[in-house]
Amino acid sequence: MPLVSNIQRYSIHDGDGIRTTVFFKGCPLKCVWCHNPETQSFHKQILTNREKCVGCGSCEKVCPTKAISMVDGKAVTDQLKCNGCGNCVTFCLMNLREVAGTEYTVKELHKECKKDEMFYEQSGGGVTLSGGEVMVQDMDYIEKLVKRLNKRGFTVTIDTCGYAPYENFQRILPYVETFLYDIKAIDNNVHKKYIGVDNNLILDNLEKLSADGARIYIRIPTVKGVNADDESMHAIIDWLLTHKINVAQVNLLPYHNTGSSKYARLEGKYEGEELQTPTQEEMEHFMAMFHDAGFHHTKIGG
């Protein structure tokens, strides 16, 4: 059963209207700037706050896999040994630990989404399935979920990086209103450097989705030093035009580092310290480039 890392209510940045966004755990990409690092692994993980640890050792004593050790008076978790059982969470006297990853049945997750039904009706919103990467989860589960949401009358939006078998998209296409589809870079070397994989499958799937009549919002995380320059933006524009992609909207998403603190909570290191946010003037310039190319529904932000 897929793991859910978070259910975010009243979201206005993950599709049309007010939405409930479900973040699934597990992703095939390793974006340098990822602001949800707790969604990269497909397994349960423990998030900690080592700075506030008082060194009582309670967590170390109850860890069944010996994943916790005391270093300089602080509890340190070896994520490779940790099985996410949550014993340390229960026994932490300072409440500094939490489990990232919760199992929901389709029925339970549907019930959670139903709680916000009133907001969907009033705003034209619905449910967005995000991640991590929803399209590499158990597709029997995802198909049952989107069918159930669709039957209830909830619009379903899929937030995807596109790096998944195309048959996964075909299975749920009839029940999805909009795909929020990421393009990070057209240059394959840039893509490999900052995303961890090449972009061939991503671009191929985008062509197929467009040909199959999907409603697509192109989302471009805009990062200074990676793709926030005229050459990179022209490359994306030219590719979309050359391949005749049916684009309903373009969202230029300025880079932010608000998730960088999560890396320490996972006993990891944030590798995007050198990345920068484009200025407002630069973002408006890129937006004008898309407008001039005929993408009139282009905006800054989600």
141-199 per-position pLDDT tens digit: 999 999 999 999 999 999 999 999 999 999 999 999 999 999 999 999 999 999 999 99
In angstroms, what CA-CA distances link 260 with 35, 40, 53, 267?
6, 14, 20, 12
Question: What per-residue confidence (pLDDT) applies to 50?
Answer: 86
Low-confidence stretches of the chain (pLDDT < 50) are none
Question: What per-residue confidence (pLDDT) applies to 91?
Answer: 93
* CATH class of the domain defined by 45-100: alpha beta
Q: Distance (Å, rounded) from C-alpha 153 to C-alpha 145?
A: 13
What integer best gives the mean pLDDT of the chain?
95
Question: What per-residue confidence (pLDDT) applies to 258?
Answer: 84
Whole-prediction pTM value? 0.93
Question: What per-residue confidence (pLDDT) applies to 164?
Answer: 98
What are the residue boundaries of the structural domains of the chain, listed by start? 3-40+104-300, 45-100
User: Per CATH, which fold does 3-40+104-300 belong to?
Assistant: TIM Barrel (3.20.20)
Question: What per-residue confidence (pLDDT) applies to 257?
Answer: 87
Question: What per-residue confidence (pLDDT) applies to 36?
Answer: 92
DSSP single-letter state for residue 213: T
Question: What per-residue confidence (pLDDT) applies to 121?
Answer: 85
293 neighbors 239 (Cβ within 8 angstroms): no
Q: Distance (Å, rounded) from C-alpha 87 to C-alpha 282?
A: 48
